[in-house]
Amino acid sequence: MKLPTNLTLAHKLILTMMATSSTALLVACIFFLSYDVITLRHSIAEHLDSLADITGANVAAALTYNDPKSADLVLRALQAEPHIVAARIYDGRGRAFASYRRAVSASPVAELPELPPARGRRLEREQVTECNAIIFDGESIGSVYLVSDLQEIQIRLRRFVIFALILMGACSAVAFLVAVLLKRLISRPILDLVETTKTISREKNFGVRAPKYAADELGLLVDGFNEMLAEIEFAEGALRAGHAESELFINSVPSILIGTDSLGYVTRWNLAAATAFGLPAGAVLGKPLQNCEIRWSDLQPGEKVDSWFRVESSEKRENVTFERDGDRRFLGLTIIKVDLFPGGKGTGFLITGADITERKTLEEQLRQAQKLEAIGQLAAGISHEINTPAQYVGDNAKFLQETWPAVNKILGLCLRLREESLAGSVAAATIAELLQSTEEADPTYLLREVPQAIEQTLQGMERVSKIVRAMKEFSHPGSEGKCAININHAIETTIAVARNEWKYVADVQTSFADNLPPVLCLAGEFNQVILNLLINAAHAIGDVVGNNSGCKGTITITTKSDSSWVEVQIQDTGAGVPENIRARIFEPFFTTKEVGKGTGQGLALAHAVIVKKHEGQIWFESEVGKGTTFFLRLPLALSETGVSLAATV
């Protein structure tokens, strides 16, 4: 049965009360009716029984003296009993002796059996039959069979139903009136409660309270509701405060914080994100991140923003770039997969990170600074290297300049002597002057020294130009991309450039493989690495031997190759790397040198260049007190991505 659940409470109450009273009444009516019908059937049967006995007694004489007419008369008296439909008397031999059928009968005339039926009473649906023996003076002399219809029951039933209907109608009316009066007791507090909830949801005001009418269960409900409201009011305040606080925190975080659901729809967008992308939260919330108006550029080859939402646990994305106001900006992001609900029911992603454009710029500047630093550091040595030949080039030039007036005078006298001899008269004065000048000029000395001075000048100039060429080669100006270079030559150049850095503390020995294949690399940066390692080696040895002590260490540079790589070893006889810092030496800004002597970028740069830009390897072996060897390995076959990556940086 479908209950009318959409009725108002008041109607439900009325319905309930009326249904209850009607049901009770109905059950009572059915009970009484059943009882009445059963008892009536029994009383009809009882009556039939006694009627049969009386009839039997009355026809005893007729039976005894074989007088059917008399028996008929007796049976005809049954007309007084309107519900007797038929009757029959059977004689002692079981033959029909006398019969009776009611002339006018509502029910169909019962069939009278030819032979006497079994003794006793039969309550059938439509009728009740009774067959009794006719006992006369203790002897059975025949039997009487009576059939009674149940019209009486039906009439009574009909009356009863009419009565019951009237009763139920009256009771329903009364019950309705009572219910209408009583429902206010229950419905009014509930309706007020409903009104209160409406007010609350309309005004979002948890300060409203429902009125209480009585101390019954509804009163308790109202109390409970009001208590709940108070708790909600408190909890809502706390929640708002907490939410505001967390919002404040999130917005105060200087890092970019972007929350998304599992499909990448933005759910959180903090102030740092808004600042970094130049997009307010309102412009992106609820949109897929990949569809936001951010001009991503140059992600990793083949990478789409969508792929971020497939990461497991967390991944870092360095160098995410996008364009903003025409500038290229760099982001360092970490994508973290988070379970939004315990039990893994829903996942989302937290993207955190920062705009590292400034850092990138600074790093670039720092790299340039380091380069400059190295060059600056070299400059003194190089100037010294240039200064020495320049000095004696100058000395020799000065010597030649000083020599020149004497030579000039002799040459002038020689010219006059030639003109005079051509004229035929050579003045003795001229000869005397020439002899004197020649004597003064010390020609033996000049003939010996001047060629030497010229030779030394040329040598000096050669050295200067060599150094200048090495410097030029070292810094490789104008060569941005990778090119195949001779590693051995590159190392020699660097050794030459850095000569002033090591020559006072160490000897450099080289052990180059002859058949080294050309290696595709960024020549300038490779040279920088070798320079850094060379200078580090010289410093390491210098720490041991002390500057200008005359006692020198050795730096051994070895190259060798395999089919797939070229290896460079730079070995020093320094103090070695202490155990406790070995893990950190490739970290940026990590240095053991005193302030001003190192920036802590050398080995970090070397690592970056060899590992990231060349997909090579760098490692070292060190023994405290004996020295350190750095190993560089460059692959001969660079991967495509490596080439293109390197080309972009």
Partner 1 sequence: MALLILTAAIEFPGHTSAQTVEESRVKAAYLYNFAKFVEWPSGVFRSFDDPAVICVVGDEHTSDVLEPAVSGKKVNGRPVQARRPHSPDEFKSCHVLFIGFSDKERIAQLLSRLQRSSVLTVGQSEEFIPLGGMINLALKNTTIELEIDPDASNAAGLKISSRLLVVARLVKAPGQPGGER
Binding site for partner 1 (CB under 8 A): 57-58, 60-67, 70, 73-74, 91-93, 136-139, 141
* Nearer residue to partner 1 within complex by CB, 135 or 426: 135
The helix-helix angle for 9-58 and 68-76 (nearest 10°) equals 150
* Nearer residue to partner 1 within complex by CB, 139 or 480: 139
Q: Shortest distance, CB of residue 98 to partner 1, whole angstroms?
A: 12
373 half-sphere exposure, CB direction, 13 A CA radius: 15
CB 307 within 8 A of CB 318: no
DSSP line for 208-231: -------SSHHHHHHHHHHHHHHH
* Nearer residue to partner 1 within complex by CB, 18 or 63: 63
Kindly state the tokens that stand for 462.
């050669």
CB 335 within 8 A of CB 314: yes
Q: Shortest distance, CB of residue 54 to partner 1, whole angstroms?
A: 12
Q: Shortest distance, CB of residue 65 to partner 1, whole angstroms?
A: 5
The alpha-helical segments, DSSP class H, found in 309-356 are none
CB 107 within 8 A of CB 149: yes
Q: Using DSSP bridges, classify how beta strands 314-324 and 617-623 pair: parallel, antiparallel or unpaired.
A: unpaired
Instruction: Tell me how far CA of residue 240 lies from CA of 162, 237, 245, 523, in angstroms.
Output: 68, 5, 8, 61
* Nearer residue to partner 1 within complex by CB, 62 or 604: 62
* Nearer residue to partner 1 within complex by CB, 64 or 151: 64
348 half-sphere exposure, CB direction, 13 A CA radius: 15
Residue closest to 612 by CA, chosen among 584, 581, 639: 639
* Nearer residue to partner 1 within complex by CB, 136 or 590: 136
Distance of CA 476 to the CA centre of its chain: 47
- Spatial strand order of the sheet with 565-571 comes to 506-511, 553-561, 565-571, 627-635, 617-623
CB 146 within 8 A of CB 49: no
CB 442 within 8 A of CB 481: no
Q: Shortest distance, CB of residue 96 to partner 1, whole angstroms?
A: 13
Q: What is the 3-state secondary structure (H, E, C) of 243-282?
A: HHHHHHHHHHCCCEEEEEECCCEEEEECHHHHHHHCCCHH
**φ and ψ at residue 615, rounded to 5 degrees:** 55, 35
Q: Shortest distance, CB of residue 88 to partner 1, whole angstroms?
A: 16
* Nearer residue to partner 1 within complex by CB, 13 or 62: 62
* Nearer residue to partner 1 within complex by CB, 137 or 579: 137
CB 479 within 8 A of CB 523: yes
Q: Shortest distance, CB of residue 85 to partner 1, whole angstroms?
A: 25
Q: Shortest distance, CB of residue 117 to partner 1, whole angstroms?
A: 19
Q: Shortest distance, CB of residue 91 to partner 1, whole angstroms?
A: 6
Number of C-beta neighbours around residue 563 at 10 A? 7
Instruction: Tell me how far CA of residue 34 lies from CA of 151, 373, 568, in angstroms.
Output: 16, 118, 116
Q: Shortest distance, CB of residue 69 to partner 1, whole angstroms?
A: 8
Kindly state the tokens that stand for 578.
């202490």
The angle formed by the CA atoms of residues 168, 171 and 176, to the nearest 5 degrees, is 120
Q: Shortest distance, CB of residue 62 to partner 1, whole angstroms?
A: 5
CA dihedral 530, 532, 535, 541 (to 10 degrees): -90
Largest Cα separation within the chain, whole Å, is 229
* Nearer residue to partner 1 within complex by CB, 65 or 341: 65
* Nearer residue to partner 1 within complex by CB, 80 or 423: 80
* C-alpha span between 527 and 474 (Å, rounded): 6
* Nearer residue to partner 1 within complex by CB, 74 or 87: 74
Q: What is the CA radius of gyration of the chain?
A: 64
Q: Shortest distance, CB of residue 56 to partner 1, whole angstroms?
A: 11
Q: Shortest distance, CB of residue 115 to partner 1, whole angstroms?
A: 16
Q: Shortest distance, CB of residue 75 to partner 1, whole angstroms?
A: 13
* Nearer residue to partner 1 within complex by CB, 93 or 345: 93
* Nearer residue to partner 1 within complex by CB, 62 or 537: 62
CB 336 within 8 A of CB 312: no
Q: Shortest distance, CB of residue 103 to partner 1, whole angstroms?
A: 23
CB 511 within 8 A of CB 476: no
| Single-letter residue type at 126 | E
* Nearer residue to partner 1 within complex by CB, 55 or 396: 55
Give me the residues paired with residue 632 across strands. Answer: 568, 618
* Nearer residue to partner 1 within complex by CB, 74 or 193: 74
CB 614 within 8 A of CB 646: yes
| Single-letter residue type at 39 | T
| Single-letter residue type at 117 | P
**φ and ψ at residue 262, rounded to 5 degrees:** -65, -20
* C-alpha span between 116 and 140 (Å, rounded): 13
* Nearer residue to partner 1 within complex by CB, 139 or 223: 139
